[in-house]
Copies of this chain bind each other. A is one copy, B any other.
Amino acid sequence: MSDSPTDPLLALRRDLHRHPEPAWCEFYTTARIVEELDRIGVDDRYLGADALSVDDRMAVPDDATLDEWFQRALDAGADEDVLEHFEGGTTGAVAVLERGAGPTVGLRVDIDALPIEEADSDHDPAERGFRSENEGYMHACGHDAHATIGVGVLEAVKESDFSGTFKVFFQPAEERVGGGKAVAKGGHLDDVDYLFAVHVGLDHPTGEVVAGMGGFLAVSHLLAEFEGAPSHAGAEPNAGRNAVQAVGTAIQNLYAIPRHKDGATRVNAGRIGGGTTSNIVPAEAFVEGEVRGETTRLRDYMGEKAERVFHNAAEMHECEVELSTEGEAPSAESDQQLVDVVEDVAKHQPDVDHVLEHAALGGSEDATYLMQHVQKQGGLATYVGVGTDHPGGHHTATFDVDETSLDIGIDVLTDAVVETVERIP
């Protein structure tokens, strides 16, 4: 792939990078992908509510936020007719190639961005003119590259001698683990025999490929909303029911949930807020957090303990607490048969220096919902890592991908899709 914006995929990646959008607000992003689908020509495309199970979406923002991002997409020039499919936060798309007899193969890529302010110096996108135009948001985890790889593989499979059905799932809201379940239950995965998911980077350099990532931490995102009663902090300190005290107690005890003998667990109170002003006993406060576990069972251990902490912190300070799950993903494993295929095709790519059979993600991913769905109906799945030199770490202001790795990803996955059908019919 030439380092020039005349290349349509490179142009796509940079355009997406300029327009990072958070979970369920990928209006411009999905519309831009649809534009590419139309350029390539696909047999079927399913948009928005037709692509996923609307009721299984998690972490959907409020209407005001959705409206704001919708308007921003319009202002940025997205096609109004296409955008209509996504109203109310039903973003995402499924593209289908019907290529004759044979099994159904799927590729899942995620498309959302993060609430991180992008670096504005010593940073390639800034210097070459495609820094984020949505201030405070950034493609800091490479989903712009993922979407581009999805489009690239679609195009390449179309041009290959692949026989069967090929579907690309452009999934929203991965960063909030809010979209995987909705896509998994959207119906289009029900006939998929083999599923590939892909992630760039993860501290693997350009030229390195991981055939089967593992070590996904199961995760739940939790929102705890405390409600007490206000009072004047000087005149009637005893008359309030202090939601901030409840939050203080909760934070202390959340992080103190005992470690578990069976493996790694995680907990984080990632965002807090509460109260109105310094002289009012605060009546409302919240903790937005998450728990994880090396297995789904360990995640649930943490989740049950966290609920206990929230409930008793509330009751201790005579507050009410409402708990909701804002996003969730199980753990999952890559299937060895598909891992073998990927390992093999990767070794034959000229730009691939190094192939790892397995590596651990050490984080969470709701691709696991899709992987489990396929595996439960007897299919196979693997999660492929495509190395890319990245100057800053994932989720930091200086993250960037080495664009030469886009072609590597497209080539490896295209070959894997084609070869899988030939080898494991």
Binding site for B on A (CB under 8 A): 114-116, 175-176, 217, 219, 221-222, 230, 232-240, 242, 244-245, 247-256, 258-262, 264-282, 285, 288-290, 292, 301, 308-309, 312-313, 315-316, 318, 326-327, 361-364, 393-396
For the complex formed, measure the closest distance between the CB of A33 and the CB atoms of chain B, giving whole angstroms.
24
Residues of B within 8 A of A222 (CB): 278
Looking at chain A's contact residues, is the secondary structure mostly helix, strand, loop, or mixed? mixed
Cross-chain contact A308 with B315 (CB below 8 angstroms): yes
> Closest B-chain residue to A263, C-beta based?
B264
Chain B residues within 8 Å of A280, by CB: 268, 270, 395
Please tell me if the beta carbons of B219 and A244 are within 8 angstroms of each other in the complex: no
> Given that A268-B278, A278-B289, A326-B278 are known contacts, is A237 also in contact with B259, CB under 8 Å in the complex?
yes
Query: Which of A245, A258, A292, A301 has the most chain B CB atoms closer than 10 A to its own CB?
Result: A258
CB distance from A137 to the nearest CB of B (A): 11
Closest B residue by C-beta to A22 = B277
Q: How many copies does the complex hold?
A: 4
Across the interface, do B275 and A279 meet the contact criterion of CB distance under 8 Å? no
Instruction: Specify which of B242, B288, B364 is in contact with A258 (CB 8 Å cutoff).
Output: B242
Contacts of A176 in B (CB 8 A): 277-278
Q: Distance in Å from the Cβ of A203 to the closest Cβ of chain B? A: 9
**Partner pick for A245 among B233, B256, B394, CB 8 A cutoff:** B256
Given known contacts A248-B248, A266-B234, A258 and B279 CB-to-CB distance under 8 angstroms: no
Nearest opposing residue in chain B for A302, CB measure: B238
Residues from chain B with a CB closer than 8 A to the CB of A232 are 363, 393-395
**Cβ of A362: which chain B residues have Cβ within 8 Å of it?**
234-235, 261
Enumerate chain B residues within 8 angstroms of A250, measured Cβ to Cβ: 248
Asked if A316 and B253 make an inter-chain contact with CB atoms under 8 angstroms apart, the answer reads: yes
Task: Write out the residue numbers on chain B whose beta carbons fall within 8 Å of the beta carbon of A277.
Answer: 114-115, 175-176, 270-271, 288
Q: Give bound CA distance, A221 to B278, whole Å.
A: 7
CB-CB under 8 A from A268, the residues of chain B are: 233, 237, 278-282
> Which 7 pairs between the two chains have the least Cβ-Cβ distance?
A248-B251, A255-B256, A233-B268, A312-B316, A271-B275, A270-B278, A234-B363
Decide: B249 and A290 in contact? CB cutoff 8 A.
no
Q: Would you call B258 and A301 a contact (CB within 8 A)?
A: no
Chain B residues whose C-beta falls within 8 Å of the C-beta of A236 in the assembled complex: 261
Contact of A312 among B261, B273, B292, B315 (CB under 8 A): B315
CA distance A308 to B274 in the complex (A): 23
Q: A271-B276, A308-B318 are in contact. Are A238 and B252 (CB under 8 A)?
A: no
A279 near B272 with CB under 8 A, answer no
Residue pairs across A and B with Cβ atoms less than 8 A apart, 28 shown, are: A116-B276, A221-B279, A232-B393, A233-B266, A234-B362, A235-B261, A235-B362, A238-B258, A238-B259, A238-B262, A245-B252, A245-B253, A245-B269, A247-B272, A249-B249, A249-B253, A259-B266, A264-B264, A268-B279, A268-B282, A270-B279, A270-B282, A271-B276, A271-B277, A278-B289, A309-B316, A312-B313, A312-B316
Q: How far is the CA of A114 from the CA of B277 in the complex (A)?
A: 9
Select which of B240, B272, B292 is within 8 A of A234 by beta carbon. Answer: B292
Residues of B within 8 A of A247 (CB): 248, 251, 272
Residues of B within 8 A of A245 (CB): 251-253, 255-256, 269
Cβ of A288: which chain B residues have Cβ within 8 Å of it?
Answer: 275, 277-278
Q: Which B residue sits closest to A265, measured CB to CB? A: B259
